[in-house]
């Protein structure tokens, strides 16, 4: 389980689907039995002490109306696509539940920045941009080859890396069937490698929970 501060207050916790039921039990033990409210993202748990937990369903999982339904849906193996892209590298995969069943990583050289000024700097910048565009074009070809045949079977497409790079890849008209499947969250990943793709499967399947403590009592 990982934890980090959340923008706007509270903190994010990521929990493996198999542990969500026990996590909810622990939340109730710490804060009192919560009331449960269905939300478009999943469930809102509100404890008697004012603590709240927003449980976000993993990409591709339906939103359950109560805790038992939510836990069951989150733990059901879903088939998802993964697209991780940065300027010079891309990783594409298909996961069935926790298992990565299709994968391919491609790295293409993109020239680094240069300290030179004037005309040389502009020339290197153009060359770097052209190399980056070519790399993203290769990434689109890879996504067409691996993800497009799976489109009808995927419940979600989870992306990660650099948002601009991902957007550029998915702007390819051939990948239009995948766009409606794209999950809202963008995974924060380093330069795509096979190990990074494997870790992305774990992150994509996790139940994200936003915890908020009770508001301080300012009375008196």
Q: Quick one: 16 and 69 in the same domain?
A: yes
Is the pLDDT at 192 greater than 50? The verdict is: yes
Q: Quick one: 91 and 161 in the same domain?
A: yes
Q: Quick one: 90 and 195 in the same domain?
A: yes
Q: Quick one: 87 and 150 in the same domain?
A: yes
**pLDDT of amino acid 135:** 52
Task: Specify whether the CB–CB gap between 209 and 12 falls below 8 A.
Answer: yes
Which residues, in sequence order, are CB contacts of 128 under 8 Å at separation 6+? Answer: 110, 111, 112, 113
Q: 71 is in which domain, residue-wise?
A: 2-76+206-212
pTM for this predicted structure: 0.84
Is the pLDDT at 180 greater than 80? The verdict is: yes
Q: By C-alpha distance, which of 59, 101, 10 is closest to 186?
A: 59
* CATH code for position 107: 3.30.420.60
**Residue 115 or residue 38, greater confidence:** 38
**pLDDT of amino acid 163:** 94
Number of domains comprising the chain: 2
Q: Quick one: 69 and 86 in the same domain?
A: no
Q: Quick one: 116 and 151 in the same domain?
A: yes
Q: Quick one: 178 and 91 in the same domain?
A: yes
Q: Quick one: 68 and 85 in the same domain?
A: no
77-89 mean pLDDT = 91
Q: Is 82 helix (H, G, I), strand (E, B) or coil?
A: strand
pLDDT band at residue 220 under the 50/70/90 scheme:
very low
Q: Quick one: 130 and 117 in the same domain?
A: yes
174-182 mean pLDDT = 97
Output the average pLDDT for the chain: 87
Q: Quick one: 122 and 84 in the same domain?
A: yes
Q: By C-alpha distance, which of 188, 94, 195 is closest to 143?
A: 94
Q: Quick one: 63 and 147 in the same domain?
A: no
pLDDT over 90, % of the chain: 74
Asked if residue 218 is part of any domain, the answer here is no
Task: List the single range of 3-7, 97-101, 128-132, 151-155 with lowest mean pLDDT.
Answer: 128-132
pLDDT tens track for 98-151: 999 999 998 763 444 444 554 455 554 455 454 445 556 688 999 999 999 999
Task: Specify whether the CB–CB gap between 70 and 62 falls below 8 A.
Answer: no
Give the containing element (helix H, strand E) for 165: helix 163-170
pLDDT band at residue 87 under the 50/70/90 scheme:
confident
Q: Quick one: 121 and 147 in the same domain?
A: yes
Is the pLDDT at 82 greater than 60? The verdict is: yes
**pLDDT of amino acid 3:** 77
């Amino acid at each position: 389980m990982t934890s980090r501060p959340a923008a706007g207050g509270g903190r994010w916790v990521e929990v493996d689907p198999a542990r969500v039921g026990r996590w909810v039990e622990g939340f109730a033990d710490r804060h009192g039995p919560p009331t449960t409210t269905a939300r478009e993202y999943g469930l809102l748990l509100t404890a008697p002490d004012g603590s709240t937990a927003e449980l976000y369903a993993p990409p591709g999982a339906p939103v359950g109306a109560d805790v038992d339904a939510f836990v069951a849906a989150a733990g059901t193996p879903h088939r998802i696509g993964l697209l991780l892209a940065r300027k010079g590298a891309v990783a594409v995969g298909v996961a069935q539940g926790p298992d990565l069943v299709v994968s391919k990583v491609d790295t293409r050289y993109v020239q680094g920045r240069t300290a030179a000024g004037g005309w040389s700097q502009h020339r290197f910048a153009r060359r770097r941009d052209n190399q980056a565009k070519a790399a993203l074009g290769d990434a689109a070809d890879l996504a067409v080859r691996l993800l497009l045949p799976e489109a009808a079977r995927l419940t979600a497409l989870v992306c990660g890396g650099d948002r601009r790079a991902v957007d550029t890849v998915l702007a390819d008209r051939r990948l239009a069937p995948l766009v409606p499947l794209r999950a809202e969250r963008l995974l924060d990943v380093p330069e795509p490698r096979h190990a990074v793709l494997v870790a992305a499967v774990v992150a994509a399947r996790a139940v994200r929970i936003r915890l908020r403590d009770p508001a301080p009592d300012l009375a008196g």
